[in-house]
């Protein structure tokens, strides 16, 4: 790097063998005073999809200001999750006496989250977010990131052709046990956090929506496999067993290990992800442990989602 502030932070791969992401080490709040730094970070994010910030400033102020390099901070749609005194921050927490818990393959996991894309059950997608640990568990608690550009690149050519122009229907349901593309025989709901129960009581106020299975990243022209196992109910143009089989095949390729990275957190880490091109998940923690994170939400809309019950702008096809 050239001079001044740019000399004081470093960019490396996210991890060996991972085809996406980057690690930014030593970034300070003072760096963000330079427009060239902010632009360089934004361009890196578009290129890599996931950025790990490590060994730099690690405060709420840094988290908020860093988020503004990538867009406008949006308030989380669910007020139950707002961090007290600061609507720009959301508390993502699991406490043994207040947290959602699932039995996954016979093991009870607090704060478990299956692969999903934020707000995929609405007709708009927020641009991304930055996650920062406040209290880490002694065991578990990894966050998974899955790149859907590399996932599309790895699809067989015949499968790419099969899904061209198709859309997936999504519905709001926070209970992963009910999601039919998430190995439902192996996931059992145990209990929900207070915020989970409050939000779930309003789930029928959300209309079904659809999103294209593939879209093109505007900045680079790369194809993105735009599917989420969570909240999906089927393919809009192909119902029944045929559509289910096709979507399951696509999702199996999408969630293959070569497209994923699981982050083992350190106390001074922050991770930014591009919600338009990645899925994320949480492995969960042992039922009696505590994990507290805080995150920002970066607003935006790729303008490709549609309200299925509104009808306007829906794709048309012959029956």
3-class secondary structure, 81: helix
pLDDT tens-place string over residues 196-231: 898 888 888 889 999 999 999 999 999 999 999 999
pLDDT greater than 50 at residue 319? no
Domain locations in the chain as residue ranges: 77-307
What is the band of 243 on the pLDDT scale with cuts at 50, 70, 90? very high
Question: Could you give the maximum distance between any two Cα atoms of the chain, in Å?
Answer: 63
pLDDT tens-place string over residues 163-195: 999 999 999 999 999 999 987 779 999 999 988
Cα dist from 282 to 25, 111, 163, 261, 279, whole Å: 24, 7, 28, 11, 11
Indicate the burial class of 46 (C-beta count within 10 angstroms; 0-12, 13-18, 19 or more). Answer: middle
H/E run at residue 198: helix 194-200
Residues 254, 148 contacting (CB under 8 angstroms): yes
**From the centroid of its chain, how far is CA 292?**
17
What is the band of 154 on the pLDDT scale with cuts at 50, 70, 90? very high
pLDDT greater than 70 at residue 312? no
Closest CA to 209 of 143, 274, 275, 119: 119
So what's the pLDDT on residue 8?
81
**Which alpha helices (H) appear in 31-102, and where do they start and end?**
35-48, 60-67
Sign of the Cα pseudo-torsion (199, 200, 204, 210, in order): positive
pTM of this structure: 0.92
What is the band of 84 on the pLDDT scale with cuts at 50, 70, 90? low
So what's the pLDDT on residue 131?
98
For the chain, the straight-line distance linking the first and the last C-alpha, in angstroms and rounded, comes to 58
- Just give the CATH number of 77-307: 3.60.130.10
The answer for residues whose C-beta is within 8 angstroms of residue 96's C-beta and 6 or more apart is 110, 287, 288, 289, 290
Q: What percent of the chain has pLDDT over 90?
A: 81
In the numeric block, which tokens belong to residue 73? 């901070």
Whole-angstrom Cα distance, residue 219 to residue 84? 36
Numbers of helices and strands, H then E, in the chain:
6, 22
């Amino acid at each position: 790097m050239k001079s001044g502030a740019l000399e004081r932070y470093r960019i490396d791969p996210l991890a060996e063998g991972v085809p996406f992401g980057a690690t930014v080490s030593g970034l300070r709040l003072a760096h963000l005073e330079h427009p060239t730094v902010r632009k360089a970070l934004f361009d890196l994010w578009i290129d890599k999809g996931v950025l790990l910030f490590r060994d730099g400033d690690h405060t709420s102020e840094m988290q908020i200001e860093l988020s503004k390099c990538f867009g406008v901070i949006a308030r989380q749609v669910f007020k139950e999750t707002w961090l007290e005194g600061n609507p720009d921050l959301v508390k993502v927490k699991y406490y043994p006496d207040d947290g959602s818990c699932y039995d996954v393959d016979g093991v009870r996991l607090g704060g478990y989250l299956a692969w999903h894309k934020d707000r995929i059950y609405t007709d708009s997608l927020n641009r991304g977010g930055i996650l920062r640990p406040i209290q880490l568990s002694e065991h578990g608690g990894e966050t998974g990131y899955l790149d859907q550009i590399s996932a599309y690149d790895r699809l067989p050519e015949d499968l790419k052709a099969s899904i061209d122009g198709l859309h997936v229907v999504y519905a709001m349901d926070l209970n992963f046990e009910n999601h039919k593309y998430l190995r439902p025989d192996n996931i059992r709901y145990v209990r929900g956090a207070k915020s989970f129960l409050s939000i779930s009581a309003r789930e029928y106020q959300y209309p079904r929506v659809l999103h294209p299975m593939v879209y093109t990243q505007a900045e680079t022209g790369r194809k993105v496999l735009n599917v989420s196992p969570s909240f999906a109910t089927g393919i809009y143009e192909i119902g029944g067993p045929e559509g289910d089989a096709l979507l399951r095949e696509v999702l199996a390729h999408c969630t293959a290990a070569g497209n994923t990275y699981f982050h083992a957190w350190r106390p001074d880490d922050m991770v930014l992800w591009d919600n338009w091109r990645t899925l994320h998940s949480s492995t969960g923690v042992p039922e009696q442990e505590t994990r507290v994170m805080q995150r920002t939400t970066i607003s935006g809309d790729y303008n490709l989602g549609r309200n299925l019950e509104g009808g306007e702008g829906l794709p048309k096809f012959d029956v």
